[in-house]
Amino acid sequence: MARIPNTPSVRVFTETWTADFKEAVKKAAGKDGRLTMSEAKKLAAVPGADKMFADNAVNYLKATGKQSVSVEVLATSARAYAQRAAQVAAGPDGRVSLADGAKLPADLKEDFFLLRGKPVPGATPVTPGSSVLPAVKTALEAATADLWMTSETDAKFKFLAGTQLNGAAITPDVVRAQLSAQHDAIFADVMWVDPADLPLATRTQVEERNAGDFLENLATNVDPNDPDSVAQGQRFAALKRTVASQLTDVKVFRFGEVNISTFIVGRTKTGELAALLTGQVET
């Protein structure tokens, strides 16, 4: 029996899915209101529709590296993820047709068709082990070759490869969990920094900026009378286009004060975290 109408709006799908997801994980979590990995995996074996939410819960815990999560935090993150995915699948009309539903990530596609009361169409999953990360790395490194981030110093751009996000939202905690080791190994080559300030773990202040606005500002904040400045702006405009073509859910996170580690991060088409790391000095 259908739980959502034909071609539901993104809002209707998101709210219906989130309500059912939250109820399922709440039951699985028990009295303490926290879902563990063991409880999330057991959810896959329960009878009824609740089991369709197990993969979402497991994927969240894997991506964040958490041992457990409160039902409220999990539901909030899951809602944001479902809404973003539905918006991308729906396109300009903001409604999720059956054809659009087939475009949803694997851990939402089955859920959508079950909520629609329809059989899940045959999927064409990504071949296990395959990834577009190498192609993304090539494209982003080409776009940033000999490009410098200018602030009170100049900083290079370095590509960082994360791992499978399994649909989880990209947050500062996820960036720290997946990219800290690479950051700490190469940031001294990005720009000069006191070794004591090098570890990402010491950069407790985090600021998120709109990625589109951030890159657009770099592309347009130029001196029209300086050919080098104009050329730099054109390079950043090209970088913005390349990032948009290679990644979704793009965000900018700035870690630290004064000596700032700046990450332009996003999700590849095969679901991994990918990033460009640069630096800024602001006194």
Looking at residues 216-231, what average pLDDT do you find? 89
pLDDT of 72-111, one tens digit each? 999 999 999 999 999 998 999 999 999 998 888 888 988 9
pLDDT band at 125 (very low <50, low <70, confident <90, very high): very low
For all residues of the chain together, what is the average pLDDT? Answer: 89
Residues 6+ apart with CB under 8 A from 64: 168, 171, 173, 174, 177
- Residue pair 30/129 in contact by the 8 Å Cβ criterion: no
pLDDT of 228-268, one tens digit each? 888 889 999 999 999 999 999 999 999 998 899 999 999 99
Enter the pTM of the model: 0.58
pLDDT band at 122 (very low <50, low <70, confident <90, very high): low
pLDDT exceeds 50 at position 21: yes
- Residue pair 130/31 in contact by the 8 Å Cβ criterion: no
Q: Which two tokens stand for residue 88?
A: 């991308």
The more confidently predicted of residues 49 and 267 is 267
- Residue pair 279/260 in contact by the 8 Å Cβ criterion: yes
Given this model, what pLDDT does residue 1 score? 56
pLDDT exceeds 70 at position 165: yes
The more confidently predicted of residues 130 and 151 is 151
